[in-house]
Every structure is written in C-alpha cells, then in structure tokens.
Structure 1
Amino acid sequence: MKKVLFLFGTRPEAIKMAPLIERFSTDSRFEVKVAVTAQHREMLDQVLSFFEIAVDYDLNVMKPNQTLHQLTADLISRITNEILLKEPFDYVFVQGDTTTVLASALAAFYQKIKVVHIEAGLRSGDIHSPFPEEMNRVLTSRIADFHFCPTETSKDNLIRENIHKNVYVVGNTVIDALLTGLQKIDPNSEANLLARFSDIDFEKKIILVTCHRRENFGKPFEEICEALLEIAAARSNEVEIVYPVHLNPNIKEIAHQKLLAPNIKLIAPLDYPELIWMMNKSHIILTDSGGIQEEAPSLGKPVLVLREVTERTEGVDAGTAVLVGSDKKKIVSETQKLLDDSMYYQSISKASNPYGDGSTSKQIIEILAAD
C-alpha cells in the first residue's frame, strides 16, 4: 500500500484536491493523509465541510501582516517538522501555484519524497503576473516527479522547459469537483438559496463579478469599478450585477465606497456550493479567478477575464473566455456586446470546455497505481 499526503492551504486548492482525496481514500491500493496550512482559514473550512474532508494535520499558519518571506520560511519548517518527520510518505500531492505549493514541494524534496503536481504547466509568461503564483509554478515544476497537466498547451510549456519525464495530460480536477458539487445542490438547497438572496432580482440577467488578485489592487480595481458603474447605469432595467466582495481591505473598502448603484449587489464572499449555484444562475461572468475561468465553460457561461495576462490561455484560444484586463472601455464594450449580440453570446457559451470532462481523478489514480 502506497502512502499519500494531500497538502494544501487555500479554498481553490481544496476544491481541486477534493475529488482526488475522495477517489484515493476509497482505493485499497493507497493510504491517505490530508494536511492543510490554512492560508484561507474560513474559506478553506467551508470547502472541507462541503466535501466532507477529514484533516489529519492542520498547521493554521497565517499571522497578521505576514510577509511572503516569513510565510514561506514558516511553511517549509513546519511542514517538515510537524508532518513529514512524523511518518513516512511515498507521495506528496500539491495543487496549483500558491506559496503552500512551493513550500510543500521544497519540504518534500528535502525529505526525498516524490512530489505530484496537479494542474502542472500553466504559464502566463510574466514572472510578476500573477505574483507570486507564476514563479511558484515554475519552481515547483523543477521539483516535481509527476506533472499532471490540464491541457496539451500546459504540457507543451513543460516540454519547452525541458521537462519530459512523467508528464501527463489529464484535464483539470476542478471539473470533477464542479460536477460533484452541482449534484449536492438539491431542490431544498435551491429554495434556501433563493430565499437567502431575495434582494437579488433573478428575473434580470445576472452579471457575476469576482475580483481579488494583487495585480488588480489600486488603480486597476478602481477602473474595474468605473466599468461596472457604467454597465449598471446603461442597463439598469436589464441587468443585476452581483459581486461577492473579497475580504481583503484593498478590495473591500474601495468596492463599498465606489459601487453604489441600485442594481449592483455587494454581498459577502460565497461558500463553494453558493458560488457554483450563483455561476449557474448568471448570464455573464467577470472574473480574475483562475478556477472560474475553468469552471464557467462547463456551465455555458461566457467569461470576461479581468487580467492583463492569463496562464489559462486555452480558454481564450477555445473561445470560452475574453481577456479584458482592467481596461474600462474593453470591459464595457465586451459586456455590451454579449448583452446585445445573441450570436456572439452563443459562440462563447457553446464553445467546448478545454479543461476536461470530469474524469481527471480517475486518470491520475491509475497512473500512480502503476508507478
């Protein structure tokens, strides 16, 4: 029996690890342990509860005003001393591009434990955007023993970096998680959600907004807010803009100061099941989130990406997403075009999802079982 450690810290990591944890935990060929660093404490706990994930190690690393330098050093030390030296592991699974990913990969490497990188090979081409995630991915790729890529494009990125061994294209586990999550939302849940968000007019076309990345702090976010206000004013009888506002004060304070319009609803951050339900209810999604760029095509929702560059270029290439950055004119014009041009809307909403079909976890477990 091979011993596997799933190690993650943020809500997106937990979502994408959840289907893997479920599949490995029910397979007699593997013994599973789960560890969290809790980079996102409350948001992480919501996902753990929703997917019924039992945690064996909880480091709870976050401190007020902690720098990236302090966080990285603390993570490597505590992962090593409080987890990896406690019991032997054959594999450590990491997912994505967070500081937890890089620190976990380094700690495992120092202990000569095989590192399995889920969602490997994504590249924006700019080491400062997203920051520090792009560099975290690049460095993790040099450490990892197994690279599970969501698309051929991500595999090609690794090949260009002279990484050839154990590179597999398997799709993205976020689609596995999305399909499982939708099944968990029953009719009673639907009624409860409609009651909870009774101030939102679902008879209108819902424009769902998520925005939280560092590169959008300051002037870029103010520009995004101006675009949302213009859309809200021009389409007051037609659209309802719903924005679950991130708790970071760089976002929260400006959003509540600027986004004052009757048809802009600023709400608290959504739990994962609430978010996928709201995505399903929406007409258009504006986001700087990586996961939503991957999930939305499976729901048939056009995505306007509020980033200057994206490491998820496959969606743009496939026509499921449009890169608009923080440019007010682009955001407004693309949103108006999606509202006005039904053929344009259909061409995006019906485009095939390049990120997989929900079989990713099954593929990964069979590959590792043969190792």
Structure 2
Amino acid sequence: MGEPAIRKVLYITGSRADFGLMKNTLIKIHSNTSLDLSIIACGMHLMKEYGNTLDEITQSDFNMDIANVTFKKNDRSSMASYIGELICSLVKKIELIKPDILLLLGDRGEMLAGATVGAYLGIPVAHIHGGEKSSTIDEAVRHAITKLSHLHFCSTEESYNRLKKLGEKTENIFITGAPGLDGIKQNILKSDEIYKIYALKKNEPFVILLQHPVSEELGNASNQIKESLEAIKSMKIQCIVIYPNADAGSKEMIDEINKYSDDENFKIHKNVERAHFLSLLNTGKALIGNSSAGVSESSSFKIPVINIGNRQKNRQSAKNVIHCDYNKKDIIKTMDFISTNEQFKKTLKQLVNPHGDGSASQKIIEVLIKKEINESLLQKQITY
C-alpha cells in the first residue's frame, strides 16, 4: 500500500462515551492538513431514548456517515447480533470510504466490529486504550481488538508492558496517554453556572451517579442500581443521575431510576454533554457508580470516586478511587469515609492522573501521519 500525500482516517463511534473522550483528538485530526477525517456513527447515537447524542457529532462539522444498526432488544443475544449486523454494514461503508487507517477506542462491541472489518479488508487498525485490565466481557473484547489491530496507542507504561506480553511488536506500541484528558479543563463551567443549569440548591453539595449494567450480572441490574439510589436517598444529598449506556440490562436500570423522578434531590438526565459532565466532576462532592470516568478523568479533578462492583475494579486508577460492593450500607460507609477521613483528603490534593498529561492527541496524530504502512505492519505475527 503506497503512502498517500493525505491519509484518510476513519473513526467509528457507537456511544456518547467514546465520542466524548475522542472529540478533542478528532478536532485536531480534522484540522490537520496531512489527514482527512471521516466518522461513522452507529449504536447508541441513533437511539433517542438515550438523549440524541448524534446531534453533538452533527454539530461538530465532521464528515459523517451513519451505519443504521442499533440494539433491537435489551439482552445479551441482541448485543451479539448487533455486532454481527454492524460488521455487515461497516463492510459496505468502509469499502466506499476507502480509509488508509481505521481508528478505534476502547472495548465496545462497535470497536470489535470495526477491527474485524479492518483486519479482513487489509486496512491498518489503530487502537486506543489497549492493554488495560478491567473485568467482565469488556476485558476479553479489548484484548481481541488488540490482536486485530496494527498500531497501539496506550495510556500507561503498565498497558504498554501488557501489550508486549500479548505478543505485539514494540515498534507498533506507543505510550500516548489517554486522549480523554486532552483539553479536559478548557471549557469548565463555574460552580454557580452548574448549580443554575441543573437546578441544584445553592450551597448544598451534590454527587453524580453514573452506573452501567454488567453483562455477566444482568439479572441483578435493577437491584444493583436500586442499592445505589437508596444509599444516596438515605444520605439526603442532591444527585445528578445520568442514564446508563445501552447495553443489555440498561432498560431495567432506567425503569428503576425513573421511580425517583419525583424526589427533589434527584435530577435525572438521559445524557449530559461532555463539557457539562467534566464541570460536574469539577464541582461535585463525589462520583458514584462504575463509569470509566472514575478511573480515567476523575483524578484530574481530584474528586472522590465510589466505584461500585466489578466493572472497573481491575483498571489502573489513582488513590481517589474507593471500591465497594453493590450494597447500600457499604456505599453509605464509603461516602462517610471520603467525607471525614483527613488523610484521604490530603491524598486528593496530591493526586497525579496516571493516564497521562493531556498531550495524547499530538502524539497520536504524529504516528498517524508518519508511520509507514507496509506488509510488515499488516501481516501480523506474534513476537514469540
């Protein structure tokens, strides 16, 4: 494959989460004269019940296409079928776009579908956030994407070493840091603006609840979110509740969340735009749930995180993250600890985010422009 004067980069996005993390990097790719960016949106972006997140992509002025594939039901078989259907749709879209590089982030099913298509079509796949441990099906999917990918942009040295152990060539692994940290404090709203926008009582603290279903624990999804909601209710503290992702089990969680809509302390939102979400982290008392933001972005704002359950338990994180079970009493006990323990409060002040310094975009762009695309890159072999 010859190296074109301008390289066409295609990014696939399936949710508010990955697009929010990548937006700053995508803007920089879009404005770089050596790169030509296209985006394919699918999945959760097309589901109005999760907040019309496609609008944010449309407003960003990117060259965008849509793979009109979403979850048909809220169960595991639908998740598996969704990946298969998306592969079929992406083949047609990608053959028309003819990208030089396919860019993916994380461990979602959309990224697995994209990596599969890229590998079979002979298109180099560049994967961000490979080599990270988590738990549940997410970890297996992340490592599967790694083995289908040709370039690896990892956030930490720990992830770099894990990719080497997975048999990836060191010349194709780059420690860039997490792109979600780039420009993370550029558009932060002032505290009084946040209180006004979200109709919060002035001078009273609030927490953020963002909790997703776990595929191996679907039968417990409703009870798991209920334990969190009941804990927060008992604390008599204001709470911004954000709908979970669209994975199996989310409908049951949303039904449970909506039971609290009449409680004045709960402010329920289908979606919160990224600048607002980061502003909430900057102002809030704690982040509660199992969002990846708890292990990635949170430490940049020195906000305590109560990480519930197994979804993020094995992820590399800073010392602001306290793990607890899906249990009302445990959550209340942990909240009391982060509110009263003076040593923990001192630790927060000294936090350094382990996932980078906010310069990932430029490092990623440099590789996308300069890395030679040849048979050695495309014909993958394990290194041992």
The verdict on a shared fold, with TM-score over 0.5 as the criterion, is yes
Name the structure 2 match of 1:17: 22
Shift of 1:258: 6.4
Distance 1:100 1:231 in 2: 33
| 1:95-133 deviations in Å (ceiling 9; x for gaps) | 111111000011011110000001111122x4xx1x3x2
The correspondence for 1:139, drawn from 141, 144, 156, is 144
Letter in 2 for 1:135: A
SS at match of 1:13: helix
SS at match of 1:106: helix
Distance 2:99 2:224 in 1: 48
Distance 2:41 2:233 in 1: 40
Are the aligned partners of 1:282 and 1:301 in contact in 2 as well (CA < 8 Å)? yes
Name the structure 2 match of 1:167: 173
Aligned-residue CA RMSD in angstroms? Answer: 2.6
Name the structure 2 match of 1:241: 239
Name the structure 2 match of 1:56: 64
CA 1:180–1:113: 2 relative to 1, 3 Å: farther
Name the structure 2 match of 1:294: 296
User: Which consecutive unaligned segments of at least 5 residues does structure 2 have?
Assistant: 1-5, 372-384
CA 1:105–1:313: 2 relative to 1, 3 Å: same
SS at match of 2:132: coil
The correspondence for 2:182, drawn from 176, 180, 189, is 176
Distance 1:63 1:151 in 2: 33
Distance 1:60 1:178 in 2: 31
| 1:57-108 deviations in Å (ceiling 9; x for gaps) | 1112115327123211111111111x22114221000111111100001101
CA 1:241–1:121: 2 relative to 1, 3 Å: same
Are the aligned partners of 2:41 and 2:54 in contact in 1 as well (CA < 8 Å)? no
Shift of 1:217: 4.6
Q: What percentage of residue pairs aligned between the two structures are identical?
A: 18
SS at match of 2:140: helix
* Higher mean C-alpha deviation, range 86-95 or range 101-110: 86-95
Name the structure 2 match of 1:219: 220
CA 1:76–1:226: 2 relative to 1, 3 Å: closer
Matched ranges for 1:295-334 at <5 A: 295-310=297-312, 313-315=315-317, 318-334=318-334
| 1:177-223 deviations in Å (ceiling 9; x for gaps) | 533443xx5x7xx766543422x224122121111223565536525
SS at match of 1:163: coil
1:95 and 2:93 are equivalent in the alignment = no
Distance 1:5 1:120 in 2: 18
SS at match of 1:314: coil
Are the aligned partners of 2:37 and 2:63 in contact in 1 as well (CA < 8 Å)? no
Distance 1:273 1:201 in 2: 21
Are the aligned partners of 1:309 and 1:325 in contact in 2 as well (CA < 8 Å)? no
Name the structure 1 match of 2:53: 44
Distance 1:260 1:346 in 2: 37
Distance 2:117 2:151 in 1: 16
Shift of 1:305: 0.9
Shift of 1:229: 2.9
Are the aligned partners of 1:223 and 1:328 in contact in 2 as well (CA < 8 Å)? no
Distance 1:251 1:205 in 2: 25
Are the aligned partners of 1:146 and 1:167 in contact in 2 as well (CA < 8 Å)? yes
* Higher mean C-alpha deviation, range 215-224 or range 133-142: 215-224
Letter in 2 for 1:8: T
SS at match of 2:38: strand
SS at match of 2:275: helix
Are the aligned partners of 2:222 and 2:253 in contact in 1 as well (CA < 8 Å)? yes
Are the aligned partners of 2:125 and 2:151 in contact in 1 as well (CA < 8 Å)? yes
Distance 1:335 1:167 in 2: 39
Shift of 1:228: 4.4
Distance 2:113 2:262 in 1: 41
Shift of 1:340: 1.6
Distance 1:5 1:290 in 2: 24
Name the structure 2 match of 1:284: 286
Name the structure 2 match of 1:78: 89
| 1:248-289 deviations in Å (ceiling 9; x for gaps) | 321122233368755444444322232222222201111211
CA 1:303–1:205: 2 relative to 1, 3 Å: same
Name the structure 2 match of 1:34: 39
| 1:237-258 deviations in Å (ceiling 9; x for gaps) | xx32332244832112223336
SS at match of 1:305: strand
Letter in 1 for 2:300: S
Name the structure 1 match of 2:336: 336
CA 1:260–1:120: 2 relative to 1, 3 Å: same
Shift of 1:43: 4.8
SS at match of 2:344: helix
Distance 2:147 2:231 in 1: 45
Letter in 1 for 2:89: R
| 1:303-359 deviations in Å (ceiling 9; x for gaps) | 1111225266321xx313122132334322211111122331331353111111210
User: Which consecutive unaligned segments of at least 5 residues does structure 1 have?
Assistant: none
Distance 1:227 1:94 in 2: 32
Are the aligned partners of 2:230 and 2:328 in contact in 1 as well (CA < 8 Å)? no
SS at match of 1:56: strand
